[in-house]
Amino acid sequence: MRTAMERIIPTRNEGVLGLVEGEVMYTSPVADIPLQDDPELAEALRDYAMADEANFTTIQTDISTYRAVVVPVHGTPGEGAEDGEDPEVAAFVLAYDQAAEKATFNEGFINYTGVAIFSLIVVALVGWLLAGRLLHPIGLLAQTARRITREDLSERIPVTGKDDLAEMTQSVNEMLDRLEGAFIAQEQLIHDVSHELRTPLTIVRGHLEVLDTGDEQDVTATRELTLDELKRMNRVVDDLTTLAQADRPDFVQPEPVELGTLTDEVYDKVLALGDRRWLIPERAEGQVVLDRERVTQALVQLAANAVKFSPPGSVVALSTHISESDTVLTVRDQGAGIPAEDVDRVFERFQRSDTSKPGSGLGLPIVDAIARGHSGRVEVESELGAGTTFRIILPNSVIESHQEDSLTHGQHPVPQLSAEEQAETVYEDPQPTTELPGRTNQ
């Protein structure tokens, strides 16, 4: 038994004893708990040690509570016994401290519970922070939406990151841009209508108030004046309607157009605008993608402006050109030109460099709107006393093309000029220039 006791290594909270005749005779030198130090335990084990079979029991003492197994060992001679003498009654006891085992378990449970609670707190905190960060744009969106009113549409949501919420925020900002643009356009339309219609209405009302119905000549003159003012108002309303539609996606409806044919059609239309020397120095042929009606409207408007600000008999030239990247439509006159201080305001509504000339000041804004509707631009070159050149530059969508550089073309004969006149009239190939920062109307 001594040898067995020395070889057995008890686990944590375990101890072993060797009992002979109910007395503790052997102990383990490496036991975690010294069972022999609890006299109540030794006394309780005495009865079990004298039994003939193994017992598994719970023993409670003042020191602790033990779970013990007592196994009888037969045939063990006592110390100093002679051969032939009866062997002494011995027992092997293995017990563990139940209270200490529970304390260890409870300690582990408390530790694990503490770690779990701490982990849950950390996870909840991190989740709360992440959720707050992810939902922050939504909160900003709600706050911005509450701050946005008809009077102030300038609020925008800061865009951070490149995730789905950032894309949604960007989309909302773009929607607000469109909404603000729509409100601005609406307010500008109302302002423009009231601004431009007030004068003719005042004129008509004033003449009607002083009209002498008994004077046939006065009635006729007032009637003619009223019809003229109503005609002007109708023209202004049409122009404002066109400008109001400029930001709509269907403002221009591009389609394949033969540019040479379009040049001929515009040439035919502008001949009736005035007594000018109408020329086509350069005529491009080829199919390009543009809105035929809108581009015709823009070129006719530029030609009408050229007639308005140039003397009778002077040259007004219409050119079309196709380059690798652009389609360029040019109208050039030999009129008075635009003052340098007015060039930067060329396309502003109701701006006129010469107020002595009739007009609403909406023609060139319409030309600019048509160019922008094609993702293009309008460039202006002007010199006082020498004339003005307008170029509508549209991004190319060319199917096939070639240039026809001549003062005549297949359908429209034009006057033959001297070399000096041709040098003054024929265009150079349009060169790209920097887009003007401001706009005004001629």
DSSP letter string over 366-411? Answer: HHHHHHHHTT-EEEEEEETTTEEEEEEEEE--EEEEEEEESS--SS
Give the model's confidence band at 82: pLDDT under 50 very low, under 70 low, under 90 confident, else very high.
Answer: low
Above 70 in pLDDT, residue 84? no
Lateral strand order in the sheet of 255-258: 255-258, 282-290, 398-405
Greater confidence (73 vs 151) lies with 73
Give the model's confidence band at 398: pLDDT under 50 very low, under 70 low, under 90 confident, else very high.
Answer: low
What pLDDT digit, counting tens, does each position of 351-365 carry? 555 544 555 567 788
Contacts of 22 (CB under 8 A, 6+ apart): 45, 46, 47, 49, 50, 89
What structural domains does the chain harbor? 2-103 (3.30.450), 164-244 (1.10.287.130), 255-425 (3.30.565.10)
What pLDDT digit, counting tens, does each position of 151-209 carry? 677 778 777 777 777 788 788 888 888 888 778 777 777 776 776 677 678 878 888 88
Between 85-89, 100-104, 406-410, the lowest mean confidence (pLDDT) is in 406-410
pLDDT of residue 345: 79
Q: Do 65 and 59 meet the contact criterion of CB atoms below 8 Å apart?
A: yes
Give the model's confidence band at 73: pLDDT under 50 very low, under 70 low, under 90 confident, else very high.
Answer: confident
Give the model's confidence band at 400: pLDDT under 50 very low, under 70 low, under 90 confident, else very high.
Answer: low
| Rounded CA separation 193/195 (Å) | 5
Tokens of residue 52, six digits: 């003939």
